Amino acid sequence: IFIIAGQRFAMLEMKAIIAPLVHNFYLEPVDYLKDVQMKANIILRPSYPVHIKF
């Protein structure tokens, strides 16, 4: 049970560090995104790579 709590805390900590960094940039897709199909696994992600530039 301690491993699960530590893992959740680590994920929360990573989000807290990454969110302000990403907030300082303007992100836009390289290709036109009509309908992005999402793939549900352990995490939710697009079924194909989405390229962005910043």
pLDDT digits (tens, 9 = 90+) for 34-45: 777 788 877 778
- In-domain check, residue 2: no
Domain count, the chain: 1
Q: What tokens were used for 39?
A: 């793939």
Q: What tokens were used for 38?
A: 């999402």
Number of Cβ atoms within 10 Å of the Cβ of 6: 10
- In-domain check, residue 22: yes
Yes or no: say if 12 and 5 are a contact pair by the CB < 8 Å rule. Answer: no
> Does the predicted model carry a pTM greater than 0.85?
no
pLDDT at position 1, please?
56
- In-domain check, residue 13: yes
